[in-house]
A and B are shown apart, each in its own frame.
Chain A
Amino acid sequence: MDRAVNEVVEVAGVLSDYWPFNAPKVPITFSQPYDEWAASGWQGVMGDARLASLAKGQRLLEGAVAAGAQLCRNARALPVTLKPFNFP
């Protein structure tokens, strides 16, 4: 899956908490202005509240990346000594 498609799926997936399962697949990209998307007629299906959730979803995704990055840095700094374990 190329990156552009991946981003579409990410946005849609992150929004799955707000997104009704019976909604049609919406070709959203990060670069598409909110107003343009709203004017495309989807508001009739989704409603203004769910359109607003697009911006919320983008913030959520950015927040998840920032939180994950911090988690990586925290983990990197932790002193860890492995115990002997059976593998494979």
Chain B
Amino acid sequence: MLEVRLAKMTWPEVKARLEETDVVLMPTGAIEQHGPHLPLDTDIAIAEGLALRIAEAVADDVKAVVAPGLPVGASAASMSYPGSLTLDEVTLLAVWEQVVKGLIHHGFKKVIIVNGHGGNRALLSTLINRVARETGAFLATMMSISIQPASGATPARSRRRSRWRWASARRWTGRSTRWSRWPAS
């Protein structure tokens, strides 16, 4: 079976994979309370599990790679619960940006962030739009219930087609799928 986990590959394997794909999935989540019945890593476990399932679903054609999950997110509101961890917004944004730029640097020109934590959403929106504008890469973030593309790298002529395709994706989720407004050309 095709190895999809970046961290389990050797660098020559990554180099070879980059000949076949430029798509990477990057899980983000949180280490925070989820009530007395769930572990602190629930959000990152969901994000990693979802990313791996997606990568396995496209292993025959896209051959996407899953980057190591970045477990700690924006969880200041949970810090009164023992064990919860958080990073301030500036630090978190800087960490994500460095990792994403590293992936782009190596040739992963399409970065899909699979996010498991609602508290990360606003910062991830800032991240994908900033990095897409600076690098020209395609970035998008998705949760189990929503997809948000950054359109900085999306050519105008393919925008209409992409809109239609993402609208199709909305039907599969069975819930409202939210994405940012496409910026003016």
Using CB atoms and an 8 Å cutoff, list the residues of chain A in contact with chain B: 1, 6-7, 9-10, 12-14, 16-17, 20-26, 56, 59-61, 63-76, 78-83, 85, 87-88
Q: Which of B132-166 contact A (CB under 8 A)?
A: 134-138, 140, 142-145, 147, 153-155, 158, 162, 165-166
Q: Contact between B112 and A6 (Cβ–Cβ < 8 Å)?
A: no
Chain B's interface: helix, strand, loop or mixed, by majority?
A: mixed
Tell me which residues from 99 to 142 in chain B have a Cβ below 8 Å from any Cβ of chain A.
Answer: 101-102, 104-105, 109-110, 112, 114, 116, 134-138, 140, 142
Residues of A within 8 A of B49 (CB): 6-7, 9-10
Interface residue? B61 (CB, 8 A): yes
Q: Which residue of A lies closest to B54 (CB)?
A: A68
Shortest A55–chain B CB gap in Å is 11
Q: Is the CB of B165 within 8 A of A9?
A: no
Known A71-B147, A85-B135; judge A80-B34 contact (CB<8 A). Answer: no
Of B144, B162, B168, B170, which contacts A14 at CB under 8 A?
B144
A71-B105 in contact (CB<8A) = no
Instruction: Say yes or no: A80-B134 contact (C-beta < 8 A), given A6-B49, A13-B42, A16-B34.
Output: no
Expressed in whole angstroms, the Cα–Cα distance for A21 and B34 within the complex equals 7
CB atoms of A76 and B23 under 8 A apart: yes
**Which residue of chain B is the closest to A17 with respect to CB atoms?**
B145
